[in-house]
Amino acid sequence: MKKLLYGLGAVVGIAILGVAGFLLYFLVILPKDLPVPELAVEITPARVERGSYLANEVLGCMYCHSKRDYDYFGGPVIPGTLGQGGEVFDEKVGVSGYLVSQNITPYGIGDWSDGELYRAIVSGLHKDGYAMFPIMPFDVYLYLTDEDVYSVMAYVRSLEPIESENPGRELSTIMTIIANSRAIPAEPWDMDWNNQLQVGEYYARIGGCTFCHTTADERMQPIEGMYLAGGLGMPWKDKLIRASNITADPETGIGNWSEADFIKRFTDYRDNNIAVADVGWNSSMAWPVYAHIKEEDLAAIYAYLMAQPPVKHAVTIVDNKP
Among 86, 108, 288, 310, binds ligand HEC (CB under 6 A): 108
Q: What is the dihedral of CA 20, 21, 24, 26, to 10 degrees?
A: -80
Question: What phi, psi does 216 have (nearest 5°)?
Answer: -130, 160
Q: Return the residue of 86, 283, 291, 308 that touches ligand HEC, per CB under 6 A.
A: 283
140 binds ligand HEC (CB under 6 A): no
State in angstroms the smallest separation of the CB of 21 from ligand HEC: 25
CB of 121 to ligand HEC, least distance (A): 5
Which of 11, 191, 274, 317 is close enough to bind ligand HEC by CB under 6 A? 317
Q: How far is the CB of 7 from ligand HEC (least distance, A)?
A: 10
Cα-Cα end-to-end distance for the chain: 19
Whole-angstrom distance, CA of residue 151 vs CA of residue 285: 24
Per CB under 6 A, does 243 bind ligand HEC? yes
Kindly tell me which residue out of 26, 141, 269, 304 binds ligand HEC, with binding defined by CB under 6 A: 141
List the one residue from 7, 9, 60, 231 that touches ligand HEC (CB under 6 A): 60
Told to check if 284 binds ligand HEC by CB under 6 A, we report yes
Whose Cβ is closer to ligand HEC: residue 22's or residue 107's? 107
The answer to whether 213 and 205 have CB atoms below 8 angstroms apart is no
- Please choose, out of 20-28, 29-37, 182-190, 205-213, the segment that lies near ligand HEC by the rule CB under 6 A: 205-213
The reply on whether position 121 binds ligand HEC by CB under 6 A is: yes
Instruction: Round to whole Å and give the CA distance between 49 and 65.
Output: 19
User: Is 5 a residue that touches ligand HEC (CB under 6 A)?
Assistant: yes
Does residue number 299 form part of the binding site for ligand HEC (CB under 6 A)?
Answer: no
Does 229 interact with ligand HEC (rule: CB under 6 A)?
no
| Least CB distance to ligand HEC at residue 138 (A) | 8
- 100 by Cβ neighbours in 10 Å (0-12 / 13-18 / 19+) ranks as middle
Residues that bind ligand HEC (CB under 6 A): 1-2, 4-5, 55, 59-61, 64-65, 89, 99, 101-102, 104, 108-109, 117, 120-121, 126, 132-133, 135-137, 141, 152, 156, 169, 207-209, 212-213, 241, 243-244, 246, 254, 265, 283-285, 290, 301, 317
